[in-house]
Amino acid sequence: MKRICSIYRSPRKNGMYLYVERSEALTRVPEALLAAFGPPQLAFDIILTPERKLAQEDIATVLENLAKQGYHLQMPPPEDDYIEHLPEELLRRNDPV
């Protein structure tokens, strides 16, 4: 099952992306989601197959969501994960002496 997908980035939330089938564009995305997402900015088009690896999403979930609801919303990673990966030296830089 091969799908040609357009991926849009949100101007409101860094790391939030909306996957849609290129042939349908944004027609199946609910208006409320588009309002919260902001004006979609096309990031790129990609061919999705079950064998393809994605950086942050499970390909099976993306393909299933595209088939069932016509879109897949990728949320940004939690900010806490980012902070945990910082070196201890940076985490304590602003601590009082």
Rounded to whole angstroms, the Cα distance separating 37 from 11 reads 8
Beta bridge partners of 4: 47
Q: Region 59-85: what's the mean pLDDT?
A: 83
Say yes or no to pLDDT of 3 above 80: yes
pLDDT tens string 35-70: 999 999 999 999 999 999 998 899 999 999 999 999
CATH of domain 3-91: 3.10.510.20
Helix (H, G, I), strand (E, B) or coil at 19: strand
Q: CB of 54 within 8 A of CB of 5?
A: no
Domain ranges of the chain: 3-91
